[in-house]
Amino acid sequence: MSWKKIVLILLTVTLINSGSIFAATDDHGHEQKKVAAPAAKTDKLFNEFYIPTPYSQPYKIAADHNGIIWFVEQSSNKLGKFDPMTSKFTEYLVPSAKDIGSSSWKFSETERKTFTGGYSVSSAGSLAGLAIDSKGNVWFTVLLGNKIGKFAPNKEEFSEYTVPTDSSGPFSLAIDSMDNIWFTERNANKIGKWDADVSSFKEYSIQTPNSKPAGIAVDKKDNVWFVMSDANKIGMIEPATGKFNEYKILTPMANANDIAVDSKGNIWFTEVSANKLGMFSIQMNRFDEAVIPTLSSVPMNLAIDKYDRIWFTENKGNKIGMFDPATAIFKEHDIPTNQSFPLGITIDHSGNIWFVESDREVNKIAYVAGLAAAPPKSSEAGTLSASDKKFGAQFVIIIIISVMVITILMSYFIMSFRKANKRL
């Protein structure tokens, strides 16, 4: 066999292998046609439910251990309950708001769209924060009523407690391992505590004045973390000592809003004005930030799943976002209802992501089924899939064959050159 035939055979083998490398294959090595991805039909992911009371302005949302969904209605001063098994709503009017009336506009469809003679205000109750204790009691804050409240589902009974500081603006709340209720006092610049053992309040003044504390969370050690929106900081109280620690957020005027703690003890928070997710590592004493892909998305509230992925609402982006810290990858899902203004978000025990659509006209709660239950894909978690491994093996083969071809060609040209010299 001549040198030329050998070279042609090797080149043919090389081209065949190179073609197999760049053909699309599945994880079993079966070749697939490469076609353009169809437009995502995100509405199939979502399930939406109209709240019975119109213009209720749902704000925060939580799931109990039975899978029942609870939410607060800021304008109608009601505590809402939704059973996913029956799709049934139940609404409870908060006792202290019974004489306030409603802020609903009872105009016709035409009048409501053309009305220009007034403006929307929250009613005097204005429910805000929401959390569920270990006994299944539902706790909430009454922002303008200056109270925190408890609802016992088994008895369908309310209890309300007036915060000692007048007009304190109780906003968000969180519950520690002893079922103590911690809450931010937005107007009073304090952190409040309702002691479950002695049924009394204790208040802690924040060192930085006029900080406007907003979101609040409790870590595994029962340290209390909170954001200071106007001070551009996050803070922490050690309840055992009463000691405060404050940490300056990297981006100036970030306008932090909500906060949560992952399984590793990292502190996550939304940066509304900066369009970022922020993270503070207490172990490393360091901040990190991730810029959200959608411009001016207005990230508001967040929740963390069992895989430490961060799920958040994009209030102006009209999306549900997810950030995986393990891969630094964002994913965003368009909410099918336009301009729904999503706010509160929570994850139930089945991995469904629940959120509220707060726009007065929209007035819904909704969920995305099971996204938080699925573990990160192997390729997203930094491990190679079968197709990746196949590609790697094929790539090595083509490199070896290419080297062989080049070597043979060089040998052929050298021998040809020597023969030519001998003729001379």
Looking at residue 165, what is its pLDDT? 98
Write down the pTM of the prediction: 0.76
User: What mean pLDDT is predicted for residues 342-364?
Assistant: 97
Residue 153 confidence (pLDDT) above 50:
yes
Give CA separation, 283 vs 9, 265, 267, 310, in Å.
Answer: 61, 8, 11, 19
Looking at residue 54, what is its pLDDT? 96
Residue 274 confidence (pLDDT) above 70:
yes
| pLDDT (tens digit per residue) in 117-144 | 443 444 468 999 999 999 999 999 999 9
User: What mean pLDDT is predicted for residues 144-165?
Assistant: 96
| pLDDT (tens digit per residue) in 337-351 | 999 999 999 999 999
Q: What's the rounded Cα separation, in Å, for the pair 123 and 93?
A: 13
Give the SS3 label for residue 267: strand
Give the CA count within 13 Å in the CB-facing half-sphere of 319: 19
- What's the mean pLDDT when you consider all of the chain? 84
b/e code 382-393 from CB counts within 10 Å (16+ = b): eeeeebeebeee
Give the CA count within 13 Å in the CB-facing half-sphere of 280: 25
Q: What's the rounded Cα separation, in Å, for the pair 74 and 226?
A: 22
